């Protein structure tokens, strides 16, 4: 069963997500960052190149011909094959294919809309019997 972690209270959820991606990549995990919002996917893709001068995270967009061999994928289409380690959700909705991943990480921001959507996703997982770990992130992180 998929392990689910919620990270809440983040001032900048994209920066926190970058840090989580870098940490998972350093541990040898394959990561998909999910969002159905094309503009957010582009913004996150660019941020992965610049968020930390010492962390290089090789990545590409979903649908790219290199997505099968790249450790980190950004987008809304999961690659075929063995890419099923970590899924990081930046979307307001549940990723439709989350259960194929070993671990799901939900990163929530601090806006009222983001908080409300996160609570809905939390209940969705909880109602289906998933064990959920919650991590409160200091907004100064």
**3.40.50.10110, 3.40.50.150, 3.30.9.90, 3.40.50.10420: which CATH number matches 3-97+109-136?**
3.40.50.10110
pLDDT the model gives residue 139 = 54
Average the pLDDT over 61-85 and give the result.
86
pLDDT the model gives residue 109 = 86
Average the pLDDT over 111-118 and give the result.
92
pLDDT in tens, 42-59: 999 999 998 888 878 999
Q: Any idea what DSSP says for residue 35?
A: -
Average the pLDDT over 15-24 and give the result.
94
Average the pLDDT over 114-118 and give the result.
93
Average the pLDDT over 80-105 and give the result.
92
Question: Domain map of the chain by residue range?
Answer: 3-97+109-136
Axis-axis angle for helices 13-26, 38-50 (nearest 10): 60
Q: Compute the distance between CA of residue 75 and CA of residue 8 in angstroms, rounded to an integer.
A: 22
Look up the pTM and report it. 0.92
Helix, strand or coil, per DSSP, at residue 86: strand
In 3D, which of 75, 80, 57 has the Cα closest to residue 88? Answer: 75
pLDDT the model gives residue 52 = 81
Q: Compute the distance between CA of residue 30 and CA of residue 73 in angstroms, rounded to an integer.
A: 8
For residues 45, 46, 48, 51, the Cα torsion angle rounded to the nearest 10 degrees is: -150
Which residue matches tokens 């969002």?
35
pLDDT the model gives residue 12 = 85
């Amino acid at each position: 069963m998929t392990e689910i972690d919620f990270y809440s209270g983040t001032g900048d959820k994209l920066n926190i997500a970058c840090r989580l991606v870098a940490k998972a990549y350093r541990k040898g995990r394959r990561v998909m960052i999910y969002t159905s919002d094309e503009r957010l996917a582009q913004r996150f893709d660019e941020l992965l190149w610049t968020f930390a001068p010492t962390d290089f995270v090789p990545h590409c967009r979903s649908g790219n011909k290199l997505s099968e061999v790249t450790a980190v994928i950004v987008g809304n289409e999961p690659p075929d094959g063995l890419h099923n380690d970590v899924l990081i959700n930046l979307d307001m909705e549940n990723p439709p294919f989350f259960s194929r991943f070993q671990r799901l990480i939900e990163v929530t921001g601090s806006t009222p809309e983001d908080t409300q959507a996160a609570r809905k996703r939390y209940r969705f997982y909880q109602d289906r019997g998933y064990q959920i770990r919650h991590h409160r992130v200091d907004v100064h992180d």
